[in-house]
Structure 1
Amino acid sequence: MTEEIFVPAGIAPSAEQLAVQLARVPYGLVEANAGAAKTTTLALRIAQALQRGAAPERILALTYTDTAVLALREALLRIGLASSTVARLRILSFDDFSAQRLAEIEGGGVTRCRTPEQIKPYVLRAIERAQTLPEERYPDELLIPGGGEGMVEGLLNRFAVLKGTLRLVLDPPEQRMSPALADELGHDYASLRVYSAFEFIRRGGHPDHPAFRAAGDATYDLARLIVDDELAGSEPHPLDLGLNLVVLDEMHDTNRAMFTVLACLLASNRRVAFLGVGDRDQVIHSAAGADADFMGAAFERGIGRAARFPLTASFRFGAELADAAGRLAAKPYRSGAAWPTEIQVLPFADAATMSRHVARSLQELRATERAAKAGPGASIAVLIRQAHQSIPLEDQLLRAGVHYRTAGFTSYLQRREVLLVRGLHAYAQNDFSGFDAAPTRLAVLQALMLFAGSYIDSQELRLADRVEEQERVMREVAADPAAMPLFIQNHILRNADAEVRRRLLDAIALLRSDDAQAFARRFVAVLQPHQLAARVLVCREDIDQLEQNLAQLVGLIEGEGTLEALFRVMHEQATRQRQMEGRNAVVLASIEAAKGLEFDHVILPGLNQGDFAVGGHSTENRNLLYVGMTRARRHLSLLFDAQRPSRYLFESGLLAPLDGAPAPGL
């Protein structure tokens, strides 16, 4: 009997795609190059399962990121599935799926912590607990300077590795922890002791119902229940969902905790088929234990033998880009696209010139599209390595009237440190009229309160929940611009730490003088943003970015000449930004946020030695450029400082070393 084949709308699947779509194997793994339509291929496999009679509710699609969830939903609609059918499919990130399963087991009610700042107090409490346990045998190993403020980011990174790899769960030490044993495990003793204390606090003293979870914790907690055989006696098994098909996108980002859940899920659904798709050269989450080997030998050891399918041809871009991507990733690559992809490699004298070029080019392109009246314009993404690089770009895009939206970071006008400076200037001038929206005024108060380390001093609030009450009071103040100066004076400045208050007052005096040259020369030294940020932020990268953001902000003064003009323009830009339409907007994004997406035009500025390869050369840095380049369909522009091009431009063959000289540094 001939099988009825699902015929997608708008595309003709390649032979490689059709082999995946029609596969009848228990386990299948697809090794896909970027641009090889892996998400579309997953959608075809799902559509074929529906064609064979599977109910939508019996199909589960898992991804690593929320962005990939959206991309898969869009791919299913694009190939012709009804929106009502797509809505019935289970399409979830791995952590959200795990959280749903745990809610069924635990009954819900677990708080989700979504930022490092929300977790920081628990880490500091864990440090204190580890140091004060009476049975501690090596107290000298736990002498942590400064109460542990400077260790929080490093500890969270180590926690992520321990959880992602399940190191202490799968291979628990047979003896009590000691500095020597910690060294054998590849960690320092203090980190492991604080980790133990942190997990005790996170679980709230209750083994079955944690007090809170952060990113990755749901997957870790579910994996731990599986490893400890805690789910074996459950009827029905919490992972027995009667599934016919499980598909996994971004499988290259799988870690041990995710793989443990996946193996149990497949074992618990006896009639299920599985298809995983990934690209080993897109691993950019190794800090959480991601390992492409789970698409390789580890899969066969842990789950079973899998049929392997290639997706080698990129249908996203032409032969020139396929060749460059293949050189960078050191693997075979070919193009199956029906169009060429134009690549421009453009040198510039400095970041300001580069930003003006980007804005002018986008302005001209949109003007041409409007003149042609050809309907929706081309999709465009400007992808950057670090968030501070967006400031000169956003400034120029706003001046040029180019509509844009950000992804992977907050627009610079709404970043906490920029709101801090804008708020200090408004206070110095006793004029908050430039903040024409109450939510923005509230954000200014929140930024000032955060960096000042202040609190609301009120007799009525001492018995109330301080955090909720502070938010309520600040909302009331933000509703009335005239109330802002007095609140800042009485509650923020007065209650700040003495040293912080001195810095803030010095910065206010500098801003009150309206001396543009003094501002450009002295502001960073007066405010000391690194020390200010280190008191309240967790991640070293966030602290570094804050410093870079303020340096870029100070640099904008050169384009205006006066402080009054600079802040007036920023207020106007903020208003203009709120009025921007989403339609036809340029996407200004981090490379990570663009993973899994594609655009007609991609612009990658700042491919400079010392800027792109953060922390030095690594596979992950190389993979980030690979991911960024391969988002392009028809046009790719790579912009760099003429004096210091990144080595990756040479490795991809897009720049040739002069006179046979070796490629420069990073």
Structure 2
Amino acid sequence: MTSKANPVRFVPRGFVPTREQQDIQLSRHRVTLIEANAGAAKTTTLALRIGEAIARGMPPGKILALVFTPQARDVMKTRLVDIGIPHSTAAQIQVRTFEEFAGEVLGAIEGPGPARLGSAQELKPHALAAIEQVSLGYAGATEFLDIRSHNVAISQFLECQLRLKATMALDENDGDTGLEESAERLGVPLTDYLWTLEYERIRLGVFDEVLFRGPFDATYDLARQLDDFPETKNALPRYGLVAGDELHDLNEASFRVLEALLDMDDLYFVGAGDRDQVIHSSLGADESYLGHRFTDKHAGCVRYPLTMTYRHGPHLAYAMEAFKQKPVDSSLPVITEIIQLHYGQARLEEGAARVVDAIGKWKSDGFPLEACAILLRERHQSVAIENALMRANIGYRTQGMQGYLQREEILFLRGMIAIALKNLASVESAAIRKAIVESLAIFGEVAFTPQEMDYAKSVIAKDPQILNSFFTGQIQRSQSEKARTRISSAVAYMEGVAAETPADAVLRDICERMDLVAVAQRIYVHPHDAAVVAKSVDGFIEVARQSGMNLRQFSEWIGAADAFVATRRSRNLVLLECVANSKGKEFDHVILPFLENGEFPSPMRDLKEEENLFYVGATRARSRLTLISPEDESTRSPFIRRMELASSRARALAAVQKNLAQTGAAPSRLELRVPYSDKDTVKSLGAQWDAARKVWYVKAGLDREPFKPWFPEE
């Protein structure tokens, strides 16, 4: 709270800081941690602290703001200007992602930097070169190697090496531990562990001259250098204030970089995060960083809360307060609706129908579809929902995941249908034809080299008629006798099946002949991912059953669905994405479907992280949250009960009325237009100078009449 001994120097434009925000703005502690709720204006409060530092004389070039994503970086830059810091001043503040900052520091050390590769496609050649080295160097020396080079394997490898780097676990091997033991200790497959070692040998070059950097590699490389060569700290730029946003995404590598900055003399740090938004543990995020890691080293570290949310009204704020058992409030004079819809025993069909009902109500209320987001616990849930949206002619877009018809497991089944009907040519998109060929090879466990895979995709995409003969000829290359027997049986069955056979019966037979669940468990490293694939396949078979179509009709329907997706308009589309990808976003209307035991929370994931995922999903909503769950209360997600919706309703309504009564409060100050020659005059009349925004102003409560000559023009 401001006092005569420590008055506020920076007054923001457009809002009056709360007492909590003002305490943070005026903090004189060397390390200040902000424990914030979702939507609590973390970024704005950090900008407020930066504005105060500038007003007290800190050069803006000596201030660093660190974030995790380019989107968060852009938001921070916008907030600095929004609160009243002049553009020219804000431009001098160093706003960087951790990766950008680490890259700049390494660039100063290394000189001209290595190639920056930002996508999986750019990293793929290096990943393939590394797995070839594993095959050549370890195949005879190590048991249990599983050498695969298809896109699923590469994707899983890139995720694995990213986690090992983020947690700094890759550097923990003491040299005396065997390869199998090291992989087991790290909890990764032996092949992926060796793949990562060879990949790093390629990336770092013969003489430790880095040849390229992919996502997060700069942060990892800098953290590693700081550990191996402590003098690297001398290369860090000198700052007076460092502000860190979204600290719930901290992992070991980024924390070590941050700690190196905090070791500087005369540096102040303020960081904000919400430990209830730790949802990326697979990438090393852990609540311990916000919990005790800072305080373990910085005894004078203080914590300030940000309990007020500015994203939604009291109804959702109090529901989250009950769910997370922590103070949450809202000063917004709005009712954020929380609507519950239920489905019966035909859970997939009825649950998807309730999603369509929720969107229909939203649209009939006059709101745009593009303001609505369906947030899924897992991607398999989209199968029924996408079909329901197509039937209702509701345009949608997916983000962070493919639509279900273009996922590997469904593409495999589409390929088997094409073998039966000899109609791959009916798939209009060459890209989808190529993806079908690759999925047939993946699930058929055919041992193509990368070059052979590319050749097969290219040739068959151009001449779809050769699919049957080509694929039949390649079956003998499956990696095991059992795999060859399974795929041979499945292909022979499909080539003999009648086009008038019910589609669901054919698909079910194929899955049984292939033992597709077991195949998925071999292909996907994590049991959870294999289970999601199995559910996705079950959902696809259910679509076929509900359609009542035979195999030929179902194939034609798939073509029409492809066309619907390909021709959908680019605007006013409902968003469909997984909850885990929604953090940092907000939507007017959020729909959370299939809230039942076994789905959300998932029994295969840590319960605490499942709670955090639900919290993240629910708090993306601004004006409406729709919860879709079973009619049978005993099977509903326990998260709904913990929101205590009925008991908090009266309190929330009273809070909305109180907030409405307070919306007419007077502004905190009046800014003046004062020529330099008049500065002493307005100062003598009681005007104050805002050094950060470089403007004279009249504080609230002071008679404004004497300042009329300097009032801003209307």
Cα pair 1:33 1:312 within 8 Å, conserved: yes
1:328 aligns with 2:323: yes
Match of 2:275 in 1: 280
The alpha-carbon deviation at position 123 of structure 1 amounts to 7.0
- The match for 1:618 is 607
Deviates more, 1:443-452 or 1:634-643: 443-452
Q: State the shift of 1:379 in Å.
A: 1.7
Of residues 454, 465, 468, the one that matches 1:489 is 468
Against the structure 1 CA distance between its residues 422 and 334, is the aligned structure 2 distance closer, same or farther, given a 3 Å change threshold? same
How many equivalent residue pairs? Answer: 620
* TM-score between both structures, scaled by the size of structure 2: 0.73
Please give the secondary structure, in 1, of the residue aligned with 2:437: helix
In 1, distance between residues paired with 2:201 and 2:116? 10
Do the aligned partners of residues 433 and 198 (structure 1) sit closer, same or farther apart at CA in structure 2, a change above 3 Å counting? closer
Distance verdict in 2 for CA 1:499–1:368, change over 3 Å:
same
Structure 1 residues without counterparts, runs of 5 or longer: 134-141, 371-375, 457-465, 657-666
Counterpart CA distance in 2 for 1:484 and 1:80 is 62
Alignment of 1:558-637 (within 5 A): 558-562=545-549, 563-614=551-602, 615=604, 618-637=607-626
| Equivalent AA in structure 2 for residue 108 of structure 1 | P
How far apart are 1:17 and its partner, in Å? 3.1
Decide whether the 8 Å contact of 2:582 with 2:617 is kept in 1. Answer: yes
Q: Distance in 2 between matches of 1:647 and 1:120?
A: 45
Counterpart for residue 248 of structure 2: 252
1:276 aligned counterpart, secondary structure: strand
Assess if the C-alpha contact under 8 Å between 1:363 and 1:400 holds in 2. no
Asked if 1:357 is matched to 2:337, the reply is no
The range that moved more, 600-609 or 509-518, is: 509-518
User: After alignment, is 407-416 or 517-526 more displaced?
Assistant: 517-526
How has the CA–CA distance of structure 1 residues 323 and 448 changed in structure 2, closer, same or farther, with 3 Å as cutoff? same
Cα displacement (A) at 1:650: 2.5
Give 1:366 deviation, angstroms: 2.2
How far is 1:536 from its partner? 4.4
Give the C-alpha shift of residue 589 in structure 1. Answer: 1.4
**Structure 2 contact 437–456 (Cα < 8 Å) conserved:** no
User: Offset of 1:595 from its aligned partner?
Assistant: 0.9
Contact 2:369 2:573 in 1 (8 A): no
Q: Give the deviation of 1:207 after TM superposition.
A: 6.1
Q: Match of 1:187, SS?
A: helix
The equivalent position to 2:401 in structure 1, one of 406, 409, 424, is 409
Alpha-carbon shift at residue 152 of structure 1 (Å): 11
Superposed, which structure 2 residues align to 1:468-547 within 5 Å? 471=454, 474-475=457-458, 478=461, 480=462, 483-486=463-466, 488-496=467-475, 497=478, 498-499=484-485, 501-506=487-492, 508-509=494-495, 513-516=499-502, 517-519=504-506, 521-534=508-521, 536-547=523-534
2:321 pairs with 1:315: no
What is the rounded CA distance, in whole Å, between the counterparts of 2:608 and 2:103 in structure 1? 31
Distance 1:522 1:96 in 2: 52
In 2: Cα distance, 1:470 partner to 1:624 partner: 38
Give the AA of the match of 1:601. H
Q: Does 1:649 align with 2:640?
A: yes
Q: Deviations over 1:105-161 (max 9, x none)?
A: 45313766749998598579659867867xxxxxxxx75486799999999988766
Match runs of 1:17-416 below 5 Å? 17-21=21-25, 26-45=30-49, 60-65=64-69, 68-69=72-73, 72=76, 92-95=96-99, 97-99=101-103, 101-102=105-106, 105-106=109-110, 107-109=113-115, 114=120, 122=130, 143-144=143-144, 163-166=165-168, 169=171, 176-177=176-177, 187=185, 195=193, 198-199=196-197, 202-204=200-202, 206=206, 208-209=208-209, 216-229=216-229, 231-232=231-232, 237=235, 239-240=236-237, 243=239, 245-267=241-263, 273-302=268-297, 305-349=300-344, 350-369=347-366, 379-416=371-408
C-alpha displacement at 1:406, in angstroms? 1.7
TM-score by length of 1: 0.78
1:631-654 deviation per Cα after TM superposition (whole angstroms, max 9, x unaligned)? 112211211123311222223334
| Counterpart contact for 2:225–2:232, Cα < 8 Å | no
Give 1 or 2 for the bigger CA radius of gyration. Answer: 2
The 1:312–1:287 alpha-carbon spacing in structure 2 relative to 1, beyond 3 Å, is same
Secondary structure of the structure 2 residue equivalent to 1:30? strand
CA contact (8 A) 1:360 1:400 kept: no
Give the 3-state SS of the residue equivalent to 2:366 in structure 1.
helix
* SS of match in other structure, 1:588: strand
Deviates more, 1:101-110 or 1:321-330: 101-110
Tell me if structure 1 keeps the 8 A contact 2:359–2:369: no
- Determine if contact 1:315/1:336 at 8 Å carries over to the other structure: yes
Structure 2: tracts of 5 or more residues without a match: 1-5, 479-483, 648-714
Structure 2 contact 161–196 (Cα < 8 Å) conserved: no
Q: 1:593 to 1:201 in 2, by over 3 A?
A: closer
- Per the alignment, residue 706 of structure 2 pairs with none
SS of 2:560's equivalent?
helix
Report the Cα offset of residue 548 of structure 1.
1.6
| Structure 1 match to 2:665 | none
Amino acid at match of 1:605: P
**Greater shift in the superposed pair: 321-330 or 148-157:** 148-157
Tell me the amino acid that sits aligned with residue 546 of structure 1.
V
The answer to whether structure 1 residue 426 and structure 2 residue 430 are counterparts is no
1:639 is paired with a residue of what secondary structure?
strand
Return the offset for 1:30: 1.0
Q: Is the 2:370–2:573 Cα contact (8 Å) retained in structure 1?
A: no
Q: Does the residue aligned with 1:405 lie in a helix, a strand or coil? A: strand
How far apart in 2 are the matches of 1:101 and 1:512? 65
CA–CA distance in structure 1, aligned partners of residues 492 and 339 of structure 2: 47
In structure 2, what residue type is equivalent to 1:37?
A: A
